[in-house]
Structure 1
């Protein structure tokens, strides 16, 4: 197991665009709470943009520039939501592995 195994993908990138990770801890530290807050803000922002997109597209009175800007903003929000889903999905797998390890230590059969 290397140091990155079990690390949390954070909802932001480094100054040069590389992914940032938090080494696995108990999930209640400052950086974990900050990441949770940023993820929640990113999800809320995506939901608001979806509503705006419906409204803009329903009006059918947009310019090519407005559609281009909407596409750029939708792409940005989609990338952030994708990062959140990758991070949360990985954490769910870690939780399952932890439960399986605890079951094995207790001698209890693990779930199928």
Structure 2
């Protein structure tokens, strides 16, 4: 319930407070968003497997964002598109976590109807 309240508050503040970022930050923000989504999918998976630990989730959430953003920034500075590594890694993990989440949910639904 607290997570839903926080999400609603964040969406509300996002609509109320306009934030314009320079276009040069778009690659950093997209990588940070992808890293955050990867962490969220990992957290949902862990919750469905009854292995969720908030300390691991929070440290992974911010750690992934920082590392991915740093890779994108460092790659820009040296002229190498290192953000591709972050896109590949987080994208692959996100789809793997989604596939596992889907299997867990379908298994729970199947068990519910087979009783």
Structure-2-length-normalised TM-score: 0.43
Whose helix fraction is larger, Structure 1's or Structure 2's?
2
Larger Rg: 1
Whose strand fraction is larger, Structure 1's or Structure 2's?
1
